[in-house]
Amino acid sequence: ITPASMTIVFLSITIGTIMTMSSSNWLMAWIGLELNMLAILPIISKPKTTRASEATTKYFLTQAIASAMMLLSSTINVWQTGNWNILELKNKFSTTIMALSLMMKMGAAPIHFWLPEVLQGTTLQTALLITTWQKIAPVTLMYMISNNIQPTILVSAGILSMIIGGLGGINQTQLRKMMAYSSINNLGWTITIMAFSPNMALMNICTYIIMTTPIFLMMTNMSAKTLQNLSTTWTTSMTMTLSIALLMLSTSGLPPFTGFMPKMLILNELISQKLTTLATLAI
């Protein structure tokens, strides 16, 4: 891929996300997401391997289904209300379909199946792009319609994401799959609190992006793809290995690291909403 075509691709990804974030119309939001999705496909398929082609196909099909669900949801809502405005999503059926499509776009449980496989089939830089930048647009849309989504749906998906993200990462030796399950787990926290305090959900996802970016950049620098690679880098780059270990502990929400702060605030909010059982489950 030439530098000129790469510039066009990255520009399209950026414009697509910004278009979705700044639009008040479902059609413009959908166009932004489509532009974003089509632009990232050449990046995923850049390594000329079978796994990269498989990852590209999986990503494309999943995102296309999610986009179709999104269009279906907004069309049904337009039939009911005659309005394409994002904030006017009043129909319960439409809201549920839209929430599911956005969860599918993000890679949250129970529609998370594509994320670990896609990350495993791509480079570390592309995995960083998928787990951080690609989540911004769907999270923004969910933030905008969070008042209309039934809390039961968000909380159920959130708790499921936490459980799958936590248990799925235990048995992994591949760092990209571990980071994928970490992403699913973190989305669980974000989606759960989205029903009660959308601003806190945004803070949580921003903290996650800030912590995940250096982890991927350091793994790229050390060419570490498995846990075994990480254990052997201790002799050559002690500072970087230690930094990755501390950042991973922070991402998992261990006190006194930064990652503990949003989780503590989320638990505090859940308890203040008299959802003590939910908070206990989250822990």
Average pLDDT, the chain: 92
Q: How confident is the model at residue 238 (pLDDT cuts 50, 70, 90)?
A: confident
203/195 Cα distance (integer angstroms): 14
Rounded to 5 degrees, what angle do the CA atoms 242, 245, 251 make? 140
Burial of 147 (0-12, 13-18, 19+ CB in 10 A): exposed
CA–chain centroid gap for 238, Å, is 30
Asked whether 104 and 111 are in contact (CB, 8 A), the reply is yes
- Give per-residue pLDDT as tens, 72-121: 999 999 998 888 999 988 889 999 999 999 999 999 988 999 999 999 99
Domain ranges of the chain: 3-282
- Dihedral sign (CA 146, 151, 153, 154): positive
pLDDT reported for residue 235: 80
Contact call for residues 95 and 149 (beta carbons, < 8 A): yes
0.85 exceeded by pTM = yes
The pLDDT assigned to 71 comes to 95
Lowest mean pLDDT among 115-119, 172-176, 177-181, 231-235: 231-235
Confidence of residue 178 (pLDDT cuts 50, 70, 90): very high
Instruction: Report pLDDT digits (tens) over 135-163.
Output: 999 999 999 999 999 999 999 999 999 99
- Nearest CA among 188, 217, 189, 211 for reference residue 127: 217
**Res 181: pLDDT:** 96
Dist. CA 279–CA 283, nearest whole Å: 6
d(CA 235, CA 229): 11
* Highest mean pLDDT pick, 183-187, 221-225, 270-274: 183-187
**Per-residue pLDDT band at 56 (split at 50, 70, 90):** very high
% the chain with pLDDT above 70: 97
Separation of alpha carbons 165 and 103, rounded Å: 14
Residue 282 has pLDDT above 70, yes or no: no
Using only the alpha carbons of the chain, give its radius of gyration: 19
User: For residues 231 and 222, what is the distance between their CA atoms, to the nearest angstrom?
Assistant: 11
Whether the per-residue pLDDT at 283 is higher than 70: the answer is no
**The pair of three-digit structure tokens given for residue 49, joined into one six-digit string:** 């391997």
Cα separation of 240 and 238, whole Å?
6
Residue 22: other Cβ atoms inside 10 A: 11
CB atoms within 10 A of CB 231: 11
Does pLDDT of 275 surpass 80?
no
Structure tokens at 127: 């995995």
Range with the poorest average pLDDT among 46-50, 185-189, 229-233 = 229-233
CA distances from 155 to 160, 189, 261 (A): 8, 9, 20
Whole-angstrom distance, CA of residue 271 vs CA of residue 277: 8
Q: Is pLDDT at 276 greater than 80 in this prediction?
A: no
